[in-house]
Homo-oligomer: A and B are copies of this chain.
Amino acid sequence: MNHRQPKRIWNFSAGPATMPTEVLDQLAEDLIDVDSTGIGILEHSHRQPTFDRVLGDAVESCRALGEIPKEYEILFVPGGATVQFSLIALNLIPDNATADYPDTEVWSAKAIVEARDAVPSATIAVPFEGKRYRYDHVPVEGEMTPTPGATYLHYCSNNTVHGTRFHTPPKAAPGVPLVCDASSEIFGRPMDWNKHALVYASAQKNFGVAGMSLVIAHRDLIRKPVRRLPSMFSYAVHLAAESRINTPPTFAIHAAGLMFRWMIAQGGVREIERRNDAKAALIYKEIDGSGGFYRGLSRMECRSPINVSFRLNTEELDQMFTKEATEAEFDGLAGHRDAGGIRASMYNAMSISASQALAQFMHDFAQRHG
């Protein structure tokens, strides 16, 4: 093992994202020997007591952190959210039925494409087309006409590219359950479980290791898929096997458990939300106080506290900003290719100090170049 003190820089990447050093140090130790078993976490059988402990802890701490009601099941499924785009449609939408998918940006748009390819006979209705507005907002009250009798309404609660967020869940047609892609903000605020039948998130933004997703679903919804499916595509089989149909992503499950416990130790979802709001406020304050030098990409009323997207007056200034930011050891600030400009992603593990440092840098940059 290397004993140098590595130097860490500010990482504002949209994901995979920064992790707490306490968790990384624990993971590094556990790679060599976990629970004093003489065997590292990567090397343990997924059918033996050590991994039983790891998986049990991950599920239990997830439930505690997310305040997840007992009627909801917790699954760890290989692959990122794009796999879930297909599995949700395959498991839930009967042939020839309709599901609602408001389009609020690239990820919701991809979910639409994947659902159509997964269940070609279904109608994937798009009751809100955010593209018309360059995705600068999510639908406000009355702006969306949901489909009566839809199987569900799928939405992405926080949109990472343009930095918009549903501050309250969208209104589906009466009796239609919500399915939520919460990849970018899970455990960043309390979830209204009464309104949601299924909530999912990929791991690499808020709870660790890329290549795995968390699926939290009401038991009645996933007890039986609406069609014949191979086992790895079936939530019912994942549920019956307790996320161990085959060898699961054991390391990612372990890291998730450590991240859940880290968030609980920080004070839980409400404290994480308070910090996320404080981090975002520092950046938005620089934008709003810059006299137009920085301009946000999203409407004020649906600004995301997680991804703050903005641009400067010219593309040259955008590039100068990221160049100087890189020199000042801020990483990952270039905007998504769909939107350009600058984006500061501040997921649950990002410290307030990082946001303070970035706000100061923005302030100084505006003074130098404004």
Contacts and interface: CB of A to CB of B under 8 A. Distances in A.
Interface of A: 1-3, 6-9, 11, 13-19, 21, 24-25, 27-29, 31-33, 36-40, 42-46, 48, 78-83, 85-86, 113-114, 117-118, 120, 202, 204, 208-212, 228-233, 245-252, 255, 329, 331-332
Is chain A's binding surface mostly helix, strand, loop or mixed?
A: loop
A247 B202 contact: yes
A133 B2 CA distance: 52
Given A2-B25, A29-B1, A39 B246 contact: no
A6 B33 contact: yes
B233 A86 contact: yes
A16 B46 contact: yes
Given A31-B27, A33-B6, A45 B230 contact: no
B212 A118 contact: no
Contacts of A8: 32-33, 38-39
A251 B211 contact: yes
Nearest to A202: B247
Nearest to A337: B47
B250 A16 contact: yes
Given A39-B9, A42-B16, A80 B246 contact: yes
A1 B31 CA distance: 12
A230 B25 contact: no
Contacts of A80: 78, 246-248
Nearest to A26: B2
Given A6-B32, A231-B114, A211 B249 contact: yes
A43 B18 contact: yes
B247 A204 contact: yes
Contacts of A78: 78-80, 83, 211-212
A86 B13 contact: no
A59 to B, nearest CB: 17
B38 A209 contact: no
A21 B25 contact: no
Given A45-B15, A118-B230, A250 B210 contact: yes
Contact of A211 (B21, B40, B233, B250): B250
A232 B84 CA distance: 10
21 contacts: A1-B28, A2-B28, A8-B32, A8-B39, A9-B37, A16-B44, A17-B43, A21-B32, A24-B42, A27-B42, A28-B31, A31-B31, A38-B331, A48-B332, A78-B78, A80-B247, A86-B230, A211-B212, A211-B247, A211-B250, A212-B249
A177 B237 CA distance: 32
Chain A to chain B: the 7 pairs with minimum beta-carbon distance, closest first = A211-B249, A9-B38, A6-B33, A78-B79, A86-B230, A28-B28, A82-B246
A28 B211 CA distance: 19
Contact of A117 (B21, B231, B245, B250): B231
A19 to B, nearest CB: 6
A297 B344 CA distance: 59
A18 B37 CA distance: 13
Question: Which of A6, A15, A36, A332: most chain B CB closer than 10 A?
Answer: A6
B2 A211 contact: no
Contacts of A45: 13-16, 332
